[in-house]
Copies of this chain bind each other. A is one copy, B any other.
Amino acid sequence: MKPNFSLRLRIFNLNCWGIPYLSKHRGDRMKRLGDLLNMESFDLALLEEVWSEQDFQRLRQKLLPAYPAAHYFRSGVIGSGLCVFSKHPIQEFTQHVYTLNGYPYMIHHGDWFCGKAVGLLVLHLSGLVLNAYVTHLHAEYNRQKDVYLTHRVAQAWELAQFIHHTSKKADVVLLCGDLNLHPKDLGCRLLKEWTGLHDAYHETRDFKGSEEGCTMVPENCYVSQRELEPFPFGIRIDYVLYKAVSGFYISCKTLRTTTGHDPHSGTPLSDHEALMATLCVRHSPPQHTPDPTQGPAERSRLISVLKEAWTELDLGVAQARWWATFAGYVIGLGLLLLALLCALAAGGGVREVAILLWTPSVGVLLGAGAVYLFHMQEAKGLSRARAELQHVLGRAREAQDLGLESQPALLLGQQEGDGDEEQ
């Protein structure tokens, strides 16, 4: 690679709102999305909420000349909704399905059935290794009383860990997607602090688009105005995040968003706004390589957000265990009731009533059993994230105590025990 190496990357991201039978004007919007992608010829288009694989296949056919490589990430019952179209060959791909993703009995929310995941693509561009991630975290249905907050924090942690462990040899890391997190939300800060990813909206000097970079705006006719009421400009929950490692420098030259309506036909492409970023990768002296764990200020921020996330996960573990215990009691009572009904049925007298009550009792028992199993699994999943987080927190604290501010590799290389990660 030449010392004056420079690479320009044009990235597109959109949550497509492609729910069969439910999303308005889906076919037309998908068609216009294909036209836009063909016209603009991005290096990489990362899409979320393409729930129908037929929609993906149609797009694929349409985009084949301009984007010869494509992949749909399958998971869950419905599919992850994630897919990618690339101008460049995809060297490798894999995915990680989040351990926790809502509750199966919240059928009307449906997230559990989707198998929300993070997809990874490895691309080799002019000798540079690019790890591109695309993801979609659990939706937020009620910001005031968010029952999925813990799951989203656990997902943000799993996402950060997946990126951390799979991108160690990458030169450039790119993450696009619908995080369902506002910029200052715990999950978003946790993700950024632990991975060292930078937010294109904050980094670019050339931004054009919706007010404050919002990706769900009241101007969009598909957006529920009631839900956006507390946010006059809208909310920013879709992101282009990036970082460069190992002697490269990356910057965001331009960032554009759509603004709630399509300039040609008037109706927008989705209920979310599209993000279009132009990134520039150059060689840089090693000291210019950003390192999230370098300075004391960064470390202090990391420790603070890790503590906050630990507390949230700890609360989640306690709540999951409470539900499992409650279900356990219901199972116990259900068994007692069944025994009683058997005795009554055998003894005569109220035999008909006993027989009629038998089936609902078995139903309650099976239901409670399922709830017990689910929340036991939830508790294990949250405990796992909490243990990983606590380990990182312990190491960050030791690094802070040692005050070795000039050793960037400290956090990833120091030799200390991890005797307290199981607390």
Cα A161 to Cα B97 with chains together (Å)? 14
- Identify which of B68, B70, B124, B392 contacts A422 (C-beta below 8 A): B70
| A416 interfacial by beta-carbon distance below 8 Å | yes
Residues of B within 8 A of A113 (CB): 373
| A415 interfacial by beta-carbon distance below 8 Å | yes
- Tell me whether A77 and B419 are in contact (CB under 8 A): no
- Identify which of B71, B115, B373, B381 contacts A387 (C-beta below 8 A): B71
| A403 interfacial by beta-carbon distance below 8 Å | no
Interface residue SS majority, chain A: mixed
Hey, which bits of chain A sit against chain B, CB under 8 A?
57, 60, 64, 68-77, 79, 88-97, 99, 113, 115, 120, 124, 161, 165-166, 168-169, 359, 363, 373, 376-377, 380-381, 383-384, 387-388, 391-392, 395, 412-419, 421-422
Q: Report 19 cross-chain contacts, Cβ distance below 8 Å, ordered by A residue.
A: A69-B419, A70-B419, A71-B421, A74-B381, A74-B383, A74-B384, A74-B387, A75-B381, A76-B377, A89-B416, A89-B418, A91-B395, A94-B165, A113-B373, A115-B377, A120-B165, A166-B166, A359-B359, A359-B363
- Tell me whether B380 and A115 are in contact (CB under 8 A): yes
- Tell me whether B377 and A417 are in contact (CB under 8 A): no
A408 CB → nearest B CB, Å:
15
Residues of B within 8 A of A97 (CB): 99
- Identify which of B60, B71, B166, B373 contacts A165 (C-beta below 8 A): B166
Cα A244 to Cα B165 with chains together (Å)? 18
A158 CB → nearest B CB, Å:
9
Residues of B within 8 A of A168 (CB): 166, 168-169
Residues of B within 8 A of A413 (CB): 91, 124
Residues of B within 8 A of A93 (CB): 388, 391, 418
Do A92 and B416 form a contact, CB below 8 Å, given A168-B168, A384-B74, A422-B60? no
Do A384 and B75 form a contact, CB below 8 Å, given A69-B417, A377-B115, A419-B68? yes
